[in-house]
Structure 1
Amino acid sequence: MSMHSPFRLGAALVLAAVLATSPVQAQKVGTTSFQFLKVMPTARATGMGDAYVTLAEGAEALFWNPAGVAAAGTHDLSATHIPYLLDTRVSSIGYATSLGGLGSVGVQIQAVDYGEIAETRTENLGFNPDGTYNPGLTGSTFGPTAFAVGVSYARRLTDRFSTGITGKYIYESLYTGSVTRNGETYDTSAGVALFDIGIQYETGFRSLALGMSVQNFGPEVAYAEEGFSAPLSFRLGIAGDLVGPAGIVSQSSQNRITAAYDLSQPNDYDQQMQFGLEYAFAETLSLRTGYKLNYDVEAFTFGAGVKTDLDPVRLNVDYSYGGMGEYLDGIHRITIGARLR
C-alpha cells in the first residue's frame, strides 16, 4: 500500500459519513438538538477563529478532531471554562495518553450549568391581588442540565497520516422531571450516542498539513413527541507555518507564524468559513486572531497564551475572546493544559 492510500481511504470514510449534511438538511436553520455542543472549548482554537481541525493535537483534539489524539504525549490534560451567555457556564476537561505502537486513547467530559430558571405557566398569567402584573411566575424554579462523556481512539497509520474515532454519550434535561399536560406525561430529557471521526495528513511540503472531521454523527434526538437531528458538522481544513523552522515563506528558529483555514458545513446552517493566525515567540508566548465568516453574530476573535517547562511537565495557559454582536456580551475562554513528555 502506498503512503497516499491511507489518506484516500480515510477521506472516503469521512466523506461517506458527511452525506447526511446535504443542502436540504442545511436549510433547516437552528432546528438541531444539543446546541451546547456548538460551544467549542479550548482557547487556542477559539482564539484562531475555530480554524483548528488540522492543528488540533493531544487532549485538545478530543473536542475538534479525534485524529489529533494520535499526537498525545505520555499524559495530556486540557481543561476549559467558559462563562457563556445569560449566566450559563460551560466547562470541559480532556485527557489523552499514548499507548506506543498501539495508538493513543483519550476521554472527555463537557458539562453545562444553566443555573436556576424561574418557572412560568400560562394559567398564572394575569394581575395579582395587589394590582401588579404576574408574567406567569409560579414561585418555583428549575435547573436544566446537559453533559457529554466520550472516549476516543487514534493511531498514526504512517509517519504522515493519522485517523481517529470518538464515541460519546450526550444527555440533556430541559426541565426537572417530566411534564403532564391534558392527562399525558412527557419526558423532557433525552440521551443519545454520537460519533466523531477524523483524519490528519502531513503533506511532506514544509509544515503544510490537511485535516478533516465529522462531528456528532448519530440518530435523531426525541424530546417528548418531537424528534430533532443532532448538530452534525463536517469540517475540512488546511494549515501550515508561514514562518518557522519549517516555514513555507521563511525559516526561523525563534519566531513562528501559523495560518489556518477551515471550511465547515453544519446540518442546520449554510457553509461557514474560519480563518486563524498565531504568532509564537520561542514557543513560550503566543498571540492569536481569527475571523468567522457567515455566522449570525460571531466574527473576529482574539487570544493569547503562555507556555513554560517544569520538567518533565510542559504547562500552558490560554485565553480567547470572541465578540457576539452589538447586543450580546463577548465570550471569554480560559484553558489550562499540561503535557508529561
Structure 2
Amino acid sequence: MGQTAATLDGRGEAAFWNPAGLATLEHSEFALNTASLAAGATHALTAYYPSHGFGVLGGAVYLVDYGDLERTDSADNTIARIAPRNIEFLASYATELGGSVALGINYKLVEFVVDCSGDCSSFPNGRGVTHAVDVGGQFTVGPAGALRVAVAVKNVGFKLQVNNRDQADALPARLVVGAAYRILLPGAGGLAQAERLDLKVAADVDSPWGSYGDSEMRVGIDVGYQRLLRLRGGYAFVRDGLSGPSVGMGVTSGSIGVDLARAFLTGSDLVAQNPTFFSFRVVF
C-alpha cells in the first residue's frame, strides 16, 4: 500500500510503524520480515503475545546491513573492508481502551556498529548505543470501525554517539499522521458482510519531529477477501529521489501468512535494484 502503515493493525509488523496497531492482535504471532532497500538489506524478527484483559506484549530485533565497503591504497589495492550495521532491539506494549481506541509504546535500544578487517590503523572499529521510544494511538469511527485514524511519534530519544560527544547525531524523530477507510464492495443478494470483498484506502503524512528532514506522503489501496487474499498498490512521495509506485499481495491459509511487495523507484540516481519486501508469519 505504498508503505501507508500508520493505521496497520492486527499484525506484529505494526511495531515498526505505529505500536498502537499491536493492540488488535487476536493470536500470538511470530514473523520474519526481510527487505532489499537502496540503503542495504534489512531483516527483522518479531514475536508478540496478546493477553486478554491486559494487552499485547512482545518484542522485535531489526538489522540493517549496509554491505561491505572496500578501503584501498594508492595503487588501488584493497587493504581493508569496512562493514557498517544498524541493530535495534524493541520491547513493545499495546492495549485497547473501550474497543475504539488503541495505544501503544516501543522502547528501543539502538546500536550502530562499524567493523573493520584488514589494515585498519587509520580506521578503527566504531560503536554507538542510544535509547529511544515510539508512542502511538489509533481510534476508529463509524459502523464496524470503517474509518481508522492514527498518529505516532517515532525515534524520540538521545543522540547517537560513535566517536565523541561533538560528533553525536540526533535520531531522526518523526511525527506520522494517517487514516484508512474500509468499504464493503457490492455482493450477491443475501451474502453476509463477512463474505464480501472489501476495499481499503489509506494515506499517511510523515514529518520531522524537532529534527532535520523533509515531510513525506504515502497513499495506497488494499482490496481482497478477508485475510485470505489481499492485493495492494500505492505511491510514496519520499525525499532523496526514492519516490515511486509499489505493488504487492498477501496470502493467509490457516496459521500461515505470506506477504510480498515491490517498489519501483522513479526519481533516483542511485545504482540500486527496486526494493523488494517479504514477510512470513505464523500465528498460534
Using the size of structure 1 for normalisation, the TM-score is: 0.72
Q: Choose 1 or 2 for highest CA Rg.
A: 1
Does residue 273 of structure 1 match 2:212?
no
Does residue 81 (structure 1) correspond to residue 23 (structure 2)? The answer is: no
1: distance between equivalents of 2:28 and 2:3?
24
- Of 193, 202, 206, the match for 1:260: 202
TM-fit CA distance, 1:146:
2.1
> How many angstroms apart in 1 are the aligned matches of 2:238 and 2:33?
26
The CA deviation string for residues 280-334 of structure 1, in whole angstroms up to 9 with x for no partner, is 135322110011124322221110111112xxxx221111101223653201111
Deviation at 1:205, TM superposition (A): 4.2
Could you say what secondary structure the match of 1:60 adopts? helix
Whose relative contact order is higher, 1 or 2, with alpha carbons under 8 Å and at least 6 apart? Answer: 1
1:223 alignment partner, SS class: coil
CA contact (8 A) 1:237 1:260 kept: yes
2-structure distance, mates of 1:264, 1:205: 28
Deviation at 1:180, TM superposition (A): 6.2
Residue 6 (structure 2) aligns with? 53
Per-residue displacement from partner, 1:195-241 (whole Å, max 9, x unpaired)? 10000101234511111111111011123231211111110011121
Unpaired stretches in structure 1, ≥5 consecutive residues: 1-47, 126-133, 246-250
Is contact 1:243-1:252 (8 Å) kept?
A: no
* CA distance in structure 1 between the aligned counterparts of 2:59 and 2:95, rounded to whole angstroms: 15
2:23 paired residue number: 70
Q: 1:282 to 1:59 in 2, by over 3 A?
A: closer
* Alignment partner, residue 236 of structure 1: 177
Q: CA deviation at 1:112?
A: 2.5
Instruction: Tell me if the contact between 2:101 and 2:140 (Cα under 8 Å) persists in the aligned partners.
Output: yes
User: How many angstroms apart in 2 are the aligned matches of 1:315 and 1:294?
Assistant: 32
Q: Which residue of 2 is the match for residue 100 of structure 1? A: 52
Partner amino acid for 2:177?
L
- Aligned length, in residue pairs: 268
Distance 1:214-1:151 versus aligned 2 partners, 3 A rule: same
Q: Distance in 2 between matches of 1:307 and 1:169?
A: 32
Q: Give deviations 1:51-72, integer Å, cap 9, x for gaps.
A: 1111233311111111111112
Distance 1:290 1:138 in 2: 42
Who is 1:333 aligned against? Answer: 277
Amino acid at match of 1:324: L
1:305 matched to which residue of 2? 250
Note the C-alpha offset of 1:252: 7.3
Asked if the contact 2:80/2:116 (under 8 Å) is kept, the reply is: no
* Unmatched tracts of structure 2, length 5 or more: 187-192
CA distance in structure 2 between the partners assigned to 1:173 and 1:282 by the alignment: 42
Conserved 8 A contact 2:194-2:226: no
Residue deviations 1:72-91 (CA, integer Å, cap 9, x gap): 233112211113337x3211
In structure 2, what is the Cα distance between the partners aligned to 1:144 and 1:270?
A: 25
DSSP 3-state at the match of 2:53? helix
Q: Does 1:220 align with 2:124?
A: no
Whether the 8 Å contact between 2:4 and 2:203 is mirrored in structure 1 is yes
RMSD value over aligned CA atoms? 2.4
Amino acid at match of 2:151: M
Letter in 1 for 2:173: L
The question of 1:160 aligning with 2:92 is answered no
Identity percentage of aligned residues: 22
TM-score between both structures, scaled by the size of structure 2: 0.86
Question: Which has more helix, going by share of residues?
Answer: 1
Is 1:168–1:193's contact at 8 Å kept on the other side of the alignment? yes
The DSSP-based 3-state class of the residue aligned with 1:52 is: coil
Q: 1: distance between equivalents of 2:134 and 2:228? A: 31
Structure 2 match to 1:10: none
1:189 aligns with 2:127: yes
One-letter amino acid matched to 1:117: L
Aligned mates of 1:66, 1:111 — CA distance in 2: 18
Contact 2:81 2:116 in 1 (8 A): no
Q: Does the CA-based 8 Å contact 2:33-2:277 persist in structure 1?
A: yes
